[in-house]
Amino acid sequence: MSTAQAEITRPEKALSLEQEQARIARLIGLLGKARNEIARIVLGQDEVIEQMLIGLMSNGHVLLEGPPGVGKTLLVRTLGTVTGLSFSRAQFTPDLMPADISGSMVLSQEPGSAAHLKFQPGPIFTQLLLADEINRATPRTQSALLEAMQERTVSVAGRTMELPKPFFVLATQNPFEMEGTYTLPEAQIDRFLLQIDVGYPDQKTLADVLDLTTGFAAAPADRLLGGEDILAIHDFVKAVPVPAHVRDAVAHFAVSTQPGSSQATDDVKRFIRFGLSPRGAQSLIVAAKARALLHGKYNVGFDDVEAILLPATRHRLQLNFDGLSSGIAFDTLVRDLFGRSRTRA
C-alpha cells in the first residue's frame, strides 16, 4: 500500500486505516464489475462507459451526444440499474414546460377536508435523471435545470427543496445540424462535467449487437452498487492527491486557451471564441482524479488528464467563425495546447 493510498481516508468516519483501505479496494472492485456489466449490455462502447463512470464518481453531470439509435438511452438506463440509483426519464420536446420537469402546485382535495394546493414533484426528484434529447426543448425549459444541476435544489412557489443525494443529470442530445434542435445556453452547458461523443459501432460490433438484440432478451444487468457507495466514492475521489507539476500544467493549459491571455498562441487568438473557465479547469482535475482511482491509482498523472482532456473541454471551448470556416481540427488543437503546457510543467 503506497503512502498516497494511505492518505485517502475519511476522517469523519470512525474507521481504522485498514478498514478504510479495505473499503477503497472493495469500491474500486465494484466499479470494475459495474463497467463490465454495462459493457455486457451495451456493446462496443467501452470508452464511453468508462467516461460515464468517471462522471458519476466525480459527482458531475454528463452530456452524451450522438445520432439517434446508437444506444445513449440504453447506456443511461443500464447505469441506473447497476448503481442502484432511483431513475426518472424526461423526454424533452419543443412543447415541454419548466413545470413538467420540476413539478407544480396542484389543487388537491381529500375526503373530509377542504381543497388545498399541494406540490406535485416532477421527474427531477430522483437520483439519476435522464434528460433525453435535451436540445429539442426550448432554451426556457433547458434553463429550468440550472438550479438543480448547480445547487441540487428546486425552487417552486417560494419554496426551496433539496433533491435526493446523490443527484445526477445524464442528458442526451442529437448533433446540432439535425432538424429541430436548439443550442444549449453557455451557462447550462458549462454545468456538465463531461461531454461524451457516442458514435456508430464498427461492423463487427454491429453484428454482435444484431445477435444480442434481435433474438431472446439478454439477462438484465445486476445491481452492484448503491447510493451510499456512490457518496463514499465522491469522498475518496476528492482525497486523491494531484502532484504540483500536474496541477500547474492544467492551470497553464486553461489560461493558454483564453484568447485574451498573454500565454495564448496565435491559433488560439485567431480561432477560439471562448477559452476554458475556472470551472472547466476544476472539472478537468476532478475527472482526472476519478480516472486515476478507477484504474487503481492513488495519485494523478499526466495520462489521467490526457485521457479525459477532450470530454472535459469539447463543450466549453468554442471555435469562432474563422475556426469553423477554416475547418480547424479541434481535438488536435486542444491536445497540442496541453502538450505545450505539460512541457512547461
Q: 187-202 pLDDT, tens per residue?
A: 778 889 999 998 888 8
On the question of pLDDT at 3 being above 50, the answer is no
Position 8 in a domain: no
329 CB-contact burial (10 Å; exposed 0-12 / middle 13-18 / buried 19+): exposed
d(CA 34, CA 51): 13
Give the integer Cα–Cα distance in Å for 226 and 158. Answer: 33
pLDDT of residue 139: 75
Residue owning grid cell 462522471: 55
- The answer as to whether 322 is a domain residue is yes
Confidence of residue 177 (pLDDT cuts 50, 70, 90): low
Mean pLDDT of all residues in 32-41? 92
Is residue 249 in some structural domain?
yes
CATH number of the structural domain spanning residue 248 = 1.10.8.80
Structure confidence at residue 178 as a pLDDT band (50, 70, 90)? low
pLDDT higher at 46 or 3: 46
SS3 328: coil
In-domain check, residue 209: no
Helices (H) and strands (E) in the chain, counts: 16, 11
Range of the domain at 281: 240-345
7 has pLDDT over 50: no
Identify whether 316 is part of a domain. yes
- Our count of domains for the chain comes to 1
Collapsed DSSP state (helix, strand, coil) of residue 53: helix
pLDDT at 108: 76
List of residues 6+ apart from 2 with CB closer than 8 A: 298
pLDDT score for 14 = 56
Percent of the chain scoring above 90 in pLDDT: 39
Lowest mean pLDDT among 36-50, 174-188, 231-245: 174-188
Give a yes or no: residue 105 inside a domain.
no
- The pTM assigned to this predicted structure is 0.86
Top pLDDT among 322 and 290 is at 290
Does residue 217 sit within a domain? no
328: in domain:
yes
Encode 90-153 in three state secondary structure: EECCCCCCHHHHHEEEEEECCCCCCCEEEEEECCCCCCEEEEECHHHCCHHHHHCCHHHHHHCE
Strand partners for 319: 272
* 90 CB neighbour count, 10 Å cutoff: 23
| pLDDT number for residue 212 | 84
Residue with cell 496541477: 247
